[in-house]
C-alpha cells in the first residue's frame, strides 16, 4: 500500500471512530463486515478526490452526508430551537449553492486559482458552522447564545459567496469575449463569413468600460492556440486605446470605430505557425520573414468583411511601421503614416510589453510605459501620441501598489486631462491596509496629488492574492 493510501485509510478509520464516540456508529459497530466495506469505499472516494485535486469536494460531501440523513443515527440535538433551525436551513441552502458552483467550468481545479481558493475557504467555514449546529447542547438558552455567533459567521459566508459569484460573472464575461474574438479570427483565417456586428458589440462594450473607469486588464493566452493568443493581445490593445481616446475631441465620436479596427489589427498573426509564436528564443531569419508578412495577410483578411478599407485595413497594414522607416512590412515613414496608425502602434507596443510572452515575463506597467516613451524619444514613434500614455499613469486603474509608509492600496482613478499627464506617479488610491498591514476600520481614498506619500512599487501576484482574495478575487 502506498503512503497516500495508508494515510487515507487512517483518516477514514479515525473519522469512523469519532462517529462511534458521538453515538453515531451503532449500526457499524454491530455489523463489522459492512463497516469494513464502508471504510474501504470511503477511502477509495477520498483517494480519488485527492488525486484529482478537488479536496474541498470531500469537505462538502462529508457535510452533505451529515445533514441529508444518509447516516444511520440521529445527528441533531433532541430539540432544536426555531432560531437554530433557521441557521441550519440557511446553511443547507448555502451548501447547495456551493455544490452548484462546483459544476461551473469557470471554477478551475487549481489550488492557485483565486476563485477556487475563495470557494474552498467558504466551504470550510460552512462545514464548521453546520457541525456546530449538530453539536448543539439540548439547552435552549445555550443554543440561542451559539446562534449569535453562527449567524454572524453565516453573514460572512454569504458575503464571500456574493463576491465569488461576482468573480465568476466577471470571468465569464472576460473569457466569453476572448473566446468570441478567437472564433472570429478562426473564421477569417478559414475564409468564412463573419458578421461585423459581433465585433462592433465588443468595441462598444470596451468603450463603455473605459468611460466608466473600469480597471485595465492585461490579458494573455497560450501561444499554442494562435487565435486565442492573438485575441488576448488585441483585446488588451483595444482596452488601452479606449482609455487614451474616449476623452479626445478628435476621436470621442468615433471611438467605437477606432476600437473595431484595433480589435482586428493583428488578425494576420493567426496565420503564423504556433511553433513560432511559442518559441522562447530568438527567431531565425526565415521565421522572422513569416512574422513580418502578417500585416499584409491581416489586411487582406479584413478587406473581405470591410471592403471600404479605411482605418480597418490601415491599422492592420501599418501598426508595425515606424516614423524613422525602420518598421515593416513596407518601411513607411513619417508623413506616410496616419494619426490612427501612429497611436495604434503605441498602444500595441505598450500592451505587448505589459503582458507575458513565451520568451519573457510581463513588465510592470511603469517599465512598459517608460520603455514605450523611450522608443518614441528615439524617433520611431510619435512623441505627441506616446505622451498620451501618461494619462494612464505609471500605475493604471486596477493596479495594487505599496506606498512608502508600508500601506497597500488599489488604484481607482487617475487625475483627468493634463493634470494626469503631468503627474503619472500620483493616481487616486483606495487604501487596502494601514502602514503595518492592519485592516482599516473605514475605507479611505487618497489623492497622491494632495498627499505626501508616494508609490514604491506594484505588488506581485502572490501579494495581491493576500489582499484581494476576500473582496476582489477577479482582480488578482
SS (H, E, C) 54-70: CHHHHHHHHHHHHHCCC
**Buried-exposed string 10-43: b where 16+ CB fall within 10 A, e elsewhere:** ebbeeebeebeeeebbeebeeeeeebeeebeebb
Confidence band for 238, pLDDT divided at 50, 70 and 90 = very high
413 DSSP β-pair partners = 428
253 CB neighbour count, 10 Å cutoff:
9
Statement: residue 15 has pLDDT above 60: no
Helix residue ranges per DSSP H, 68-139: 82-102, 114-134
pLDDT in tens, 327-369: 999 999 999 999 999 999 999 999 999 999 999 999 999 999 9
Confidence band for 75, pLDDT divided at 50, 70 and 90 = low
pLDDT in tens, 119-128: 988 999 999 9
Question: So what's the pLDDT on residue 114?
Answer: 84
In the three-class reduction of DSSP (H, G, I as helix; E, B as strand; rest coil), residue 225 is classed as coil
Statement: residue 53 has pLDDT above 50: no
In the three-class reduction of DSSP (H, G, I as helix; E, B as strand; rest coil), residue 475 is classed as helix
Confidence band for 77, pLDDT divided at 50, 70 and 90 = low
Q: Which residue has the higher pLDDT, 240 or 99?
A: 240
CB 243 within 8 A of CB 264: no
Q: Which residue has the higher pLDDT, 203 or 11?
A: 203
446 DSSP β-pair partners = 429
pLDDT in tens, 111-169: 778 888 889 889 999 999 988 988 888 888 889 999 999 999 999 999 999 989 988 99
* Strand pairing class (445-447; 455-458): unpaired
Structural domains for the chain = 3-171 (no CATH), 195-388 (1.10.3210.10), 400-475 (no CATH)
> Which positions ≥6 away from 296 have C-beta within 8 Å?
268, 317, 329
Statement: residue 108 has pLDDT above 90: no
Question: So what's the pLDDT on residue 56?
Answer: 52
Question: So what's the pLDDT on residue 298?
Answer: 96
Cell of 121: 475557504
Statement: residue 232 has pLDDT above 70: yes
Amino acid at each position: 500500500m502506498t503512503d497516500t493510501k495508508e494515510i487515507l485509510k487512517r483518516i477514514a478509520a479515525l473519522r469512523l471512530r469519532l462517529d462511534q464516540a458521538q453515538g453515531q456508529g451503532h449500526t457499524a459497530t454491530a455489523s463489522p463486515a459492512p463497516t469494513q466495506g464502508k471504510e474501504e469505499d470511503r477511502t477509495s472516494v477520498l483517494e480519488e478526490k485527492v488525486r484529482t485535486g478537488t479536496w474541498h469536494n470531500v469537505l462538502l460531501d462529508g457535510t452533505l452526508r451529515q445533514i441529508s440523513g444518509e447516516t444511520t443515527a440521529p445527528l441533531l440535538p433532541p430539540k432544536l430551537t426555531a432560531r437554530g433551525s433557521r441557521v441550519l436551513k440557511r446553511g443547507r441552502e448555502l451548501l447547495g449553492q456551493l455544490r452548484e458552483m462546483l459544476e461551473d467550468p469557470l471554477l478551475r481545479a487549481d489550488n492557485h486559482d483565486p476563485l477556487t481558493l475563495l470557494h474552498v475557504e467558504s466551504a470550510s467555514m460552512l462545514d464548521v458552522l453546520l457541525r456546530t449546529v449538530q453539536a448543539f447542547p439540548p439547552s435552549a438558552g445555550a443554543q440561542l447564545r451559539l446562534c449569535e455567533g453562527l449567524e454572524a459567521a453565516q453573514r460572512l459566508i454569504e458575503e464571500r459567496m456574493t463576491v465569488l459569484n461576482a468573480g465568476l460573472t466577471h470571468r465569464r464575461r472576460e473569457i466569453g469575449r476572448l473566446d468570441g474574438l478567437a472564433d472570429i479570427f478562426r473564421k477569417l483565417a478559414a475564409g468564412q463569413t463573419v458578421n461585423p456586428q459581433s465585433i462592433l458589440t465588443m468595441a462598444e462594450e470596451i468603450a463603455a468600460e473605459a468611460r466608466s473607469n473600469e480597471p485595465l486588464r492585461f490579458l494573455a493566452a497560450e501561444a499554442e492556440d494562435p487565435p486565442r493568443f492573438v485575441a488576448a493581445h488585441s483585446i488588451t490593445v483595444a482596452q488601452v486605446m479606449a482609455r487614451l481616446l474616449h476623452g479626445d475631441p478628435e476621436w470621442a465620436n468615433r471611438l467605437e470605430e477606432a476600437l473595431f479596427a484595433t480589435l482586428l489589427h493583428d488578425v494576420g498573426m493567426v496565420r503564423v505557425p504556433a511553433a513560432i509564436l511559442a518559441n522562447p528564443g530568438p527567431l531565425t531569419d526565415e521565421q522572422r520573414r513569416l512574422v513580418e508578412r502578417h500585416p499584409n495577410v491581416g489586411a487582406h483578411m479584413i478587406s473581405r468583411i470591410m471592403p471600404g478599407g479605411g482605418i480597418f485595413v490601415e491599422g492592420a497594414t501599418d501598426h508595425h511601421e515606424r516614423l524613422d522607416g525602420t518598421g515593416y512590412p513596407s518601411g513607411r515613414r513619417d508623413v506616410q503614416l496616419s494619426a490612427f496608425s501612429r497611436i495604434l502602434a503605441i498602444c500595441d507596443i505598450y500592451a505587448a510589453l505589459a503582458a507575458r510572452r513565451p520568451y519573457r515575463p510581463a513588465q510592470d506597467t511603469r517599465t512598459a510605459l517608460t520603455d514605450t516613451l523611450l522608443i518614441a524619444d528615439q524617433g520611431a514613434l510619435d512623441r505627441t501620441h506616446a505622451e498620451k500614455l501618461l494619462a494612464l499613469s505609471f500605475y493604471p486603474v486596477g493596479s495594487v501598489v505599496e506606498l512608502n509608509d508600508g500601506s497597500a492600496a488599489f488604484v481607482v482613478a487617475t487625475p483627468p486631462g493634463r493634470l494626469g499627464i503631468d503627474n503619472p506617479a500620483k493616481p487616486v488610491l483606495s487604501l487596502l491596509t494601514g502602514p503595518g498591514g492592519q485592516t482599516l476600520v473605514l475605507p479611505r481614498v487618497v489623492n497622491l496629488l494632495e498627499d505626501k506619500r508616494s508609490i514604491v512599487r506594484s505588488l506581485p501576484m502572490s501579494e495581491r492574492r493576500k489582499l484581494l482574495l476576500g473582496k476582489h478575487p477577479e482582480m488578482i
